[in-house]
Amino acid sequence: MSKDALIASLRGQCGGPRDGALLRYALGNALLEAGDAAAATEELRQALRFDPRYSAAWKLLGKACLAADDRTAAAEAWRQGIAVAQARGDKQAEKEMAVFLRRVERDLGD
């Protein structure tokens, strides 16, 4: 399946009975891979409206914000994601986002 076909298929499910955090995460990921960081950001924010405790969505939201050249929003997404990961005991996601956050904060400081 091409990226365009995958995105169209996922978008077709939005608003239906299967709509939810996982669907919106998958759509956001596909959009980011296709180079549409702005649309990916919107879908990932929607995923987090469905489930604000979805640490993987916070991590990918930060990456999408960074791809959209919004370092401040990326840092904020990762800060929130770290808090969620800590609360859930998701050590790996916490470590990864902490590394991403340190890098972006260093860039913001320059």
Residue 110: pLDDT over 70: no
Q: Nearest Cα to 40, choosing from 17, 73, 79?
A: 73
Between CA 87 and CA 72 the distance in angstroms is: 23
Beta strand ranges found along the chain (DSSP E): none
Average pLDDT over every residue of 101-105: 95
Structural domains in the chain, CATH included, are: 3-109 (1.25.40.10)
Average pLDDT over every residue of 60-66: 98
List pLDDT tens digits, range 2-27.
999 999 999 999 999 999 999 999 99
* pLDDT at 32 (0 to 100): 98
Identify residue 99 by its one-letter amino acid code.
Answer: V
pTM for this entry = 0.94
Between CA 84 and CA 53 the distance in angstroms is: 6
